[in-house]
Amino acid sequence: MTNPLLDFSSLPRFDEVTPDHVAPAIRELLAGYRALVAQVIACDTPVTWDDFVQPMIDCGERLSRAWGMVSHLHSVNDIAPWRDAYNELLLEISAFYAEVGQNLALFAKYKALAASDEFGKLSAVRKRIIENELRDFRLSGAELTEAQKPRFKEIQEQLSALAAKFSENLLDATNAHAEWVSDEAELDGLPEDVIGAAKQAAESVASTERQGKWKFTLQAPSYVPLMQYGNHQPLRARMYRAYVTRASEFGPAEWDNTPLIEQILALRDEEAKMLGYANYAEVSVAPKMAESPQEVDQFLRQMAVKARPFAERDLAELSDFARSELGLEKLDAWDLSWAAERLKQARYNFSDDLVKQYFPESKVLQGLFHVIQSLFAVNVKADQAPVWNPDVRFYRIEREGQLIGQFYLDLYARETKRGGAWMDDARGRRAIAGRIQTPVAYLTCNFSAPLGNKEATFTHDEVITLFHECGHGLHHLLTGIDDLSVAGIHGVEWDAVELPSQFMENFCWEWDVLQGMTRHVDTGESLPRELFDKMLAAKNFQSGLHILRQIEFGLFDLAIHSTPVGADVLCMAGSPLRGAPTPLKILGELRRQFAVLIPPEWNRFPNSFAHIFAGGYAAGYYSYQWAEVLSADAYSAFEDARAKYGSALDAATGERFLREILSVGGSRPALESFTAFRGRVPSPDALLRHSGMAEPAVAAQL
C-alpha cells in the first residue's frame, strides 16, 4: 500500500506520510463514501443495522481517521506544505459532510429504521446512535428545501475555511513577535531556566539577524514566566500589549482576525435562522445537557453573583499590597501577574518557580501513571510507534496483560505547533470482524522543553494541565463500548465532556500523590510537606478573579451567539447597548456588569479566542463551568474515601467511576451516568468548597 493515509491496518505511519499523500488519499476516500451512500439509499438495500448503518460507520471511520491524521499534523507541524495540503482539501471535506448531512434519502432511511420492528430489537446503545443520527440530520439541514440546501452547504464550507484561517492567523501572529533584550538588568527577577531558554532562543537565530542576547516570544513557556516574575515593567508592558493585540488591526492586515469574527458570527446566525432557531446559541445547545441558552445564561449569572464578592476581595488585597509594598498606586494590566506572584510569595513564602524544581518530567509521568494504575486497575507502559517529532513519546495501557489502548504524548512547545493543550482521538474502540479495535489518542501540551542536559521541569499548573488532558484521554481509552459512534468521547454531550478531565486535576492536590511524583531536580529530595501545605493554603489564591474571568468568557461567548446580527440595540439584563452590537461592545458591556478588572480599551481578546472561533466551543465555552460542577461533585466521592481509608486513590471508588462514567462514553445521557455514579443529581456545593467560595455554614456541613 503506497499511500500511508489509506492504511488502516494498524497505527498511523507518521514516518512515511507526506503532504503529497493528502489529496489523492482523501479524494479516493470521498469517492468511496459517495459510492456507498448511493448504494445504501437504493430501494433494494434493507433498512437494517448490518445492511445499512454498519457500512456507513465503516466508511465514515476510514475518512475520519485519515482526515484526523491530516488535521493533527496541521496542528502540531504547521509548516507551509502541511498547511497548504490541509487547506486544499478542507473545503472538499466540509462540502462532503454538508452534502451527506442534507441527504433526504439517507435521512429517510434512518427514519424508516427508527420506525421499524428492527429498531425495537436493537440494543439501547444502538438505539441511541440512531437517535443521535436523526438529531444531527436535522441540525445539518436535511429538512431544508432543495432551494435552501446549496446555501446551507456553502455556509458550512465557509465556516470551516474561516476557522482554519483564524487559527493560522493566531499562530503566525504569535510567532512573528519577539522581544530582544541586550541589557541584563531587564532580566531581573526571571528564573534561571527562563533566562537560559531566552538565550538559547537567541542563539538559534542566525547571527546576522540577531538583535540581542536574549529572545522572548509570545509562546506560553516564554511569555507566562516573564509576566509573572520579570521586574522590568517596560518589558512586561511591551510583551502584554503584543500578546493581547495578536491577530488584530494593530498588526499586519493579513493576520487580522476581526473581519473573520464578523463573518463567522454572521454565517452562524444565518445557519441558525435557516434551521428555524432564533440564534446560533440555540443550535449549539440542542445536543448538549443544558436545556436552553436561557438556562446556561442563568447558570453563569448565578455563578457570577457568587464569585464577584470573592473577586472584589482578591482585587482589593492585590491593590493594597501593590500600593504599600511595591510602590504602585495603579495596577496596570501588565502588572497583575507580577504583583500577584509577589503577594503570593509574601503571604505563603514560596514561589511557583521553587515548586517547579520538584516536578521533573520523568517523576511527573511516573506519578500520573501511578494514579491511573491505582484507580482503574491498568498498567501504563512505554511503547513504540512512528511519531511526527523526535520528542513525542508513545505508551500503551494494559489490563491483565491485554491491550486496552495507546496514546501519543507531545509535551513541548514548538513554533510550528498551535498553542494550548488538547486531546484528540487517532482511532476509536469498536468490535470488528470478531475482534476489538483498541482506541488510540493524541495528548498534546505546550510546556518548556529541556534546557541543555537538564531534564524538563513543569510548574504545578502545567502538571494540572497534563492531568486534565490525560482525563480526556482516559475517557477515550478506557471505554467499554464496542459501537464506535458512542465509544469513548464520541457522542458525549459537549457540556459534559470536561467532566473526566477536570476530575483528574484534583489528584494534583493529594499529598500521597505528590509524594510519589516529585524529586528536586538538583538535590533529589521529594517535595517537603511544609511546602505542600503552603501550596494547599494558596490553592484558592486569587481564585475569585480567575473564576469570574472564566464566567465572563462564557457569558461573552453566549451573548455574541445570541445577538441578532445587524441589530441596532441590544438589551442585556435590562441595560441597553446603543449602536451595532459588535463583539467588542458586547464584551465591554458584560465587563461593566460583571468584571472587577477592566483591561485596556486596545485589548483585543476576541481575536485570539480560538476556543469559540476555531475550536468547537462556539456557544459552548460555558461547558468548563458546567462540567466543573459535575467533576467537583464526582470527586467528592473520592474525598469521602480519603476520609474513610486515608487516601483518595481508592480502587473501589475508581472502579465505580470507570464503570459508570469513563467506560460508558456517549452510550447514554451524561446525567444518567453521573447519577449512576453518585446516586443523585449533581450539586454545586463541592465546587463552591473547592473554589473557596462556600458559605461557612455549608463548609461546616461538608
464: burial class by Cβ within 10 Å (0-12, 13-18, 19+)?
middle
Q: What are the start-end ranges of the E strands in 428-574?
A: 430-432, 435-437, 440-447, 569-572
Nearest to 133 by CA among 160, 149, 109: 109
Closest CA to 557 of 513, 619, 500, 498: 619
Task: Tell me the three-class secondary structure of 538-566, residue by residue.
Answer: CCCCCHHHHHHHHHHHHHHHHHHCCCCCC
Give the burial string for 517-549 (b: 16+ CB within 10 Å, else e): bbbbbeeeebbeeebbebbeebebbbbbbbbbb
Q: What is the DSSP letter of 332?
A: -
Tell me if 275 sits within 8 A of 283, measured CB to CB.
Answer: yes
Cell 512515511 sits at which residue? 16
Any residues with CB less than 8 A from the CB of 121 and at least 6 apart, and which?
none
**Nearest one of 435, 470, 494, 425 to 61, comparing CA atoms:** 425
Q: Rounded CA gap, 432 and 412, in Å?
A: 36
Close Cβ partners of 12 (under 8 Å, ≥ 6 residues apart): 4, 69, 385, 386, 426
Q: Using alpha carbons, select from 699, 677, 695 the residue that is nearest to residue 630.
A: 677
Task: Give the number of residues written for the chain.
Answer: 702
How far is Cα 606 from Cα 73, in angstroms, rounded to an integer? 26
How far, CA to CA in Å, does 522 sit from each of 144, 359, 360, 454, 457?
65, 11, 10, 10, 11
> Nearest to residue 374, comparing CAs of 644, 632, 658?
658
CA distances (Å), 233 to each of 186, 190, 216, 240, 702, in order?
A: 9, 12, 15, 10, 44
Which set of grid coordinates corresponds to residue 516?
510519589
> What is the sign, positive or negative, of the torsion defined by CA atoms of 405, 410, 416, 418?
positive
Residue 17 CA, distance from chain mean position: 26
CB count within 10 Å of CB 420 equals: 14
Catalytic residue among 61, 186, 282, 469: 469
Number of other residues whose CB lies within 10 A of the CB of residue 408: 26
Whether 469 is catalytic: yes
Kindly list the catalytic residues.
469
